[in-house]
Structure 1
Amino acid sequence: MRRHPSDPTGRTLVTDEHRQSPAAAVFDALGAAYEKAFAGSEAHRRSLEWLLGRLAPGSRVLDVGSGTGRPTAEALAGAGHEVLGVDVSPVMVELASRQVPSASFRCADIRELPLEENSFDAICVYFSLLQLDRHEQTDVVRRLVRALTPDGRLVLATVPLDVEGVEAVFMGQHVRVTSFDTLDLVAVAEEAGLDVLEREETLFTPAHPDAGPEPHVFLHCRRRDTVDA
């Protein structure tokens, strides 16, 4: 998606093209309800602790699919790191900017966001690729790895199911979901130039009346010294 202009007040202007984005529409509708539903994820908290324990002071971190800014951007910025959050939903970006003023947030599509090589010490990808097809997910992971500094860290989390283009209802919203099972996700990460150092698989039920138990997997990775272009 194209970068969106701003009005004189500094608010993001949303084009018709952006309004038609399925992911933007879903997360615009969910807003703060998404944060509340997933606030109880202990595995997500453990994942952030893993990352925080391995970052040098003042590290530059990219949060892909930053949502409301909590808990990821808030925890990282609160520890003194320079955080850039990117989300396709203007509602989420507005919430995050208000809730985590110590981080920066952009309304953009990660597939088209320019990323300089070796520019981030760490990248977080928490459940933000599920509405992309498998080719897009694989390409995004490769681009993100190239944006990491050598030996940089990347955390990748998803719902590990072998599904492609499946229609589903998520917290009352109709979505089209594509994912990899755990072993295939590990292969995607390794082929992109990551070493998977640790992984955690768990079952989590979001705190929402329309949500049921869902499997989660967290891959904690490090960029290899050499990454193919």
Structure 2
Amino acid sequence: MSEMTPSAPAVRADEWAARQAAQAGGFDAIGARYDESFPHKDGQVACTDRLLETLPAGARVLDAGAGTGLPTARCLLDVGCTVTCVDFSAEMLNLARTNVPEATFIHADILDLPDDPGQYEAVTAFFSLLMLPRAQIDTTLRLFHRILTPGGRLALAMVEADVDDMPIPFLGHWLRVTAYTRAAWRAVLAEAGFVVEWEDSRTYVPELAAPPEIQLFTLCRRV
């Protein structure tokens, strides 16, 4: 394994549970303000549209870190996909139940998802992996690889930077975030068993008090 994706360090279960509870609590408090702060999701929609071009009718899709269900789960459901929304924030998942009631909902940490091979033709993870440390991102990508069908697609969005589990203020709350440079992110995906088929980057300026960011959108195929 390369230096870019080291083996996950030993983390006490209680420490990890406390960390994730704090992360989820931040999103519980933010709630609908997230969509108010990030109303323009053209990059996310474009990546989802690219994904849909590759999927069979009625594809099973896991929306990992579904948030409010908008726009991704809504777009997928509208074209006939079967969608499972997972999120560690109970409040975000409640908003998703209102916005996309046709979906199936799982209130859980992504890392606690059932590890059954070939469950989904696609996984979407828009800005959800950046809530994990790098070692756990590697673990999650390998989980995604196992639960996808052969040749299944993975659509992702990250923010471009070089930080690992860094605390930042976000809409009045402190969250821990991780990001990669573009080249490092490609290498992480390749090591987890994915081929990049399409990518895009966009500068985004949030509506509320948050700094501009470079958003990276990637569509991958499981190999």
Q: Is the 8 A contact 2:160 2:213 kept in 1?
A: no
CA RMSD of aligned residues (A): 1.5
Residue 159 (structure 2) aligns with: 159
Q: What are the Cα deviations for residues 56-77 of structure 1, in whole angstroms up to 9, with x where unaligned?
A: 1100000000000100111101
State the number of aligned residues.
Answer: 207
TM-score by length of 1: 0.86
Q: Which amino acid aligns with 1:61?
A: V
Residue 9 (structure 1) aligns with: none
Shift in Å at residue 25 of structure 1? Answer: 0.8
* Cα distance in 1 for residues equivalent to 2:62 and 2:136: 18
Q: Is the 8 A contact 2:194 2:222 kept in 1?
A: yes
* Cα distance in 1 for residues equivalent to 2:168 and 2:74: 30
Q: Give secondary structure in 2 for the equivalent of 1:53.
A: helix
Kindly indicate whether residue 126 of structure 2 is the aligned counterpart of residue 126 of structure 1. Answer: yes
Q: What are the Cα deviations for residues 28-53 of structure 1, in whole angstroms up to 9, with x where unaligned?
A: 01111112222212111111110112
Q: Is the 8 A contact 1:68 1:95 kept in 2?
A: yes
Q: Is the 8 A contact 1:39 1:71 kept in 2?
A: no
Residue 215 (structure 1) aligns with: 214
Q: Is the 8 A contact 2:198 2:218 kept in 1?
A: yes
Q: Give secondary structure in 2 for the equivalent of 1:123.
A: strand
Q: What are the Cα deviations for residues 171-212 of structure 1, in whole angstroms up to 9, with x where unaligned?
A: 22211222221111111111111110111111101222x112
Map 1:55-70 → 2, pairs under 5 A: 55-70=55-70
Richer in helix (by share): 2
* Cα distance in 2 for residues equivalent to 1:148 and 1:20: 25
Residue 6 (structure 2) aligns with: none
* Cα distance in 2 for residues equivalent to 1:180 and 1:172: 24
Kindly indicate whether residue 101 of structure 2 is the aligned counterpart of residue 101 of structure 1. Answer: yes
Q: Is the 8 A contact 2:142 2:192 kept in 1?
A: yes
Larger deviation: 76-85 or 18-27? 18-27
Q: Give secondary structure in 1 for the equivalent of 2:111.
A: coil
Give the gaps of 5 or more residues in structure 2. Answer: 1-16
* Cα distance in 2 for residues equivalent to 1:147 and 1:29: 31
TM-score by length of 2: 0.89
* Cα distance in 2 for residues equivalent to 1:207 and 1:56: 36
